[in-house]
Amino acid sequence: MTIINILFKLYRTIIRNRAINNIIISKTKKKPIFDNILKTCLVFSIVIILIVISCLHVSLNMHYYQKHLIKYGTYSKFESEKIVIDQTSLILDFLGGNRDHIDTLFFNRKAISHLRDVKKIFTFLILFLKIVIILAILTLTIIIIRKRYYMIGKAFFIGGVISLLTLIVIMVIQYYFWEEAFSFLHTVFFPKNSWFFPVNSKLRMIFNEYCLKGLGQDFFVLATILSFSILAIGLIMIRIAPQKHKQLTEKQQ
């Protein structure tokens, strides 16, 4: 069964709850505009959190690199396996913010300069993720205070669906437009000619095309699992929300 078929069935499920949710919304005294803003903020916060967390986890985790370094025979191109592991770990610590500098003679000045540029992107992503998480927590808090429980389930469901669709687009680009996307992103985010390295450069030998594509696949798998999990939680909450609202209404009466 394809992802599209699964999403279609899930969509039909949420449509069945639409009448109940509309009744709940119609009974609320607050203006719906603010509710829509809250739901939209939560949806996009969920999408960003799922994708960025998956990207950072895979990109900065040595476990994923070791798998691909072994698979594509990278160790055999250097003096020893330990050198590659130590230098790759050093780079990941630097990119993740655990090191301020790269103290090594293994890479030349141009490679280290490029890694500093790459670190700026990771620093921005980590900061951006923290801001979005805070926004999501604040939005959830306001929704709970306003007792709009049905909105949380719908936001989780929609966020999961949008994440899955975004991942499909990313994977299509990776499989069919890898070179174009790679060149475009490097041209946009890095200074001119600073990211061109010869085939025999140590940086390019470690972070080769096959390794990067493998990491892309790992990212897709992890993000897909997280997206389906959020989507499933959303469906469960959509079913629970009408009952929760009914109980609260009875208590108020």
pLDDT at 245 over 70: no
- How confident is the model at residue 15, as a pLDDT? 52
In terms of Cβ atoms closer than 10 Å to its own Cβ (0-12, 13-18, 19+), residue 182 is middle
State the pTM of this model: 0.80
Closest to 94 in 3D by CA, of 110, 115, 108: 115
pLDDT at 136 over 90: yes
Closest to 88 in 3D by CA, of 108, 60, 110, 113: 60
Compare 163 and 11 and report the one with higher pLDDT: 163
Greatest mean pLDDT among 15-19, 93-97, 248-252 lies in 93-97
Band the pLDDT of 2: cuts 50, 70, 90: low
d(CA 113, CA 243): 58
How many Cβ atoms sit within 10 Å of the Cβ of residue 120? 12
C-beta separation of 69 from 75 below 8 A: yes
Tell me the average pLDDT of the chain: 83
The answer to which of 65-69, 191-195, 237-241, 245-249 has the lowest mean pLDDT is 245-249
Compare 249 and 170 and report the one with higher pLDDT: 170
Sign of CA dihedral 49, 51, 54, 56: negative
Band the pLDDT of 244: cuts 50, 70, 90: low
Compare 31 and 221 and report the one with higher pLDDT: 221
d(CA 134, CA 138): 6
